């Protein structure tokens, strides 16, 4: 059961990350509703550096955010399927998906919207349940 729970949780991250990546690079879904805001982002640089614009940083952050979610799936699905004993024998690898997922959940609760909040809640519950089963 714990293997299924980890695969379910990781698959949710893989799906959310992939959708997020596609929407970031192949749609206008991350543009501001007000076109003037998007235009301002494309024209404005950061205080940190003038080597990029707010818009490029925004797209880059969203792209790397997508890859982070996809990495959870890319790491935990094959590890769970092929070498589950490694997870069972490692407290860190048992707890890591729960810790990462709860971190994403905090971000989703404070900054994002309903769809990622629901998906991340489901993944978090799956990861926590798997960890409890493994550790008990």
| Mean pLDDT, 10 residues at a time, the chain of 136 residues | 97 98 96 96 94 95 96 98 98 98 96 94 98 97
Q: What's the CA gap between 89 and 135, in Å, rounded?
A: 10
* Burial (Cβ within 10 Å: 0-12, 13-18, ≥19) of residue 136: exposed
Q: Could you give the 3-state DSSP secondary structure of residue 68?
A: helix
Instruction: Report the pLDDT value the prediction gives residue 85, as an integer from 0 to 100.
Output: 97
pTM for this model (two decimals): 0.91
pLDDT digits (tens, 9 = 90+) for 111-128: 999 999 999 999 999 999
């Amino acid at each position: 059961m714990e293997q299924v729970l980890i695969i379910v949780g990781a698959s949710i991250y893989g799906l959310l990350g992939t959708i997020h990546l596609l929407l970031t690079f192949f749609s206008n879904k991350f543009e501001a509703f007000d076109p003037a805001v998007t235009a301002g982002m494309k024209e404005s640089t950061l205080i940190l550096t003038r080597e990029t614009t707010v818009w490029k940083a925004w797209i880059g952050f969203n792209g790397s955010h997508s890859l982070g979610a996809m990495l959870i799936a890319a790491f935990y699905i094959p590890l769970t399927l092929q070498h589950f004993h490694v997870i069972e024998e490692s407290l860190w690898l048992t707890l890591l998906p729960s810790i990462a997922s709860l971190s994403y959940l905090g971000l989703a609760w404070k900054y994002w919207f309903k769809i990622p909040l629901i998906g991340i809640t489901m993944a978090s519950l799956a990861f926590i349940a798997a960890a409890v089963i493994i550790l008990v």
